[in-house]
């Protein structure tokens, strides 16, 4: 059974009738990604939420120093722990088509199976532990993360990614956001 929205009076913002801050942020969003994802049209009900999301997302992508495949592993881990099927579908598509996540790694993440790539497994484990423990990962998980070649600074960028994904995951829960057609092949139930 599909998820039911928490919010009952707010609807996705139509970019053709949007005005003021909603129009400005939707125009910026479309310019950034080339189309208007359902998630963005919902988040635009509170322009500050979408603006914060877009800004933090762009900073994580540009400044984290993590490779695109590593970034996608982080986003997938957060989205799965938070139970966001929309973001899991979207980041699965990005992982497969744009970010270069190896197919066995993507399949393992989506199935909740062990990840055989040691570096990506350590990154995934730390991110999952961070979300599940509200930022208090075990010493063993942190040790494995650092042993896999990550730096302590990378930890802080994972905090940024968690914050960004939490904005989108929780917004998607509130609206029961339907998966866009572009991500539909990666939909999970």
Mean pLDDT of the residues in the chain: 96
- pTM score, whole prediction: 0.94
**Helix pair angle (152-175, 139-147), 10° resolution:** 110
Write the DSSP symbol of residue 12: P
User: Shortest CA distance to 155 belongs to which of 130, 120, 134?
Assistant: 130
pLDDT digits (tens, 9 = 90+) for 108-153: 999 999 999 999 999 999 999 999 999 999 999 999 999 999 999 9
| Domains recognised in the chain with CATH numbers | 66-186 (1.20.1290.10)
């Amino acid at each position: 059974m599909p998820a039911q929205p928490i919010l009952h009076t707010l609807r996705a913002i139509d970019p053709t009738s949007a005005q003021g801050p909603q129009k400005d942020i939707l125009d910026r969003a479309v310019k950034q990604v080339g189309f208007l994802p359902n998630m963005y049209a919902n988040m635009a009900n509170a322009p500050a939420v979408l603006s914060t999301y877009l800004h933090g997302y762009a900073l994580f992508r540009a400044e984290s120093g993590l490779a695109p495949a590593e970034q996608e592993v982080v986003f997938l881990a957060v989205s799965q722990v938070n139970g966001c099927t929309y973001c899991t579908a979207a980041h699965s598509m990005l992982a497969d088509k744009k970010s270069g996540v190896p197919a066995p790694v993507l399949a393992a993440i989506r199935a909740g199976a062990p990840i055989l790539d040691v570096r990506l497994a350590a990154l995934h484990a730390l991110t999952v532990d961070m979300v599940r423990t509200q930022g208090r990962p075990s010493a063993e998980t942190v040790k494995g993360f650092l042993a896999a070649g990550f730096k302590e600074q990378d930890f802080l960028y994972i905090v940024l990614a968690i914050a960004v994904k939490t904005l989108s995951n929780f917004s998607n829960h509130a609206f029961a956001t339907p998966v866009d057609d572009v991500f539909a092949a990666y939909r999970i139930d």
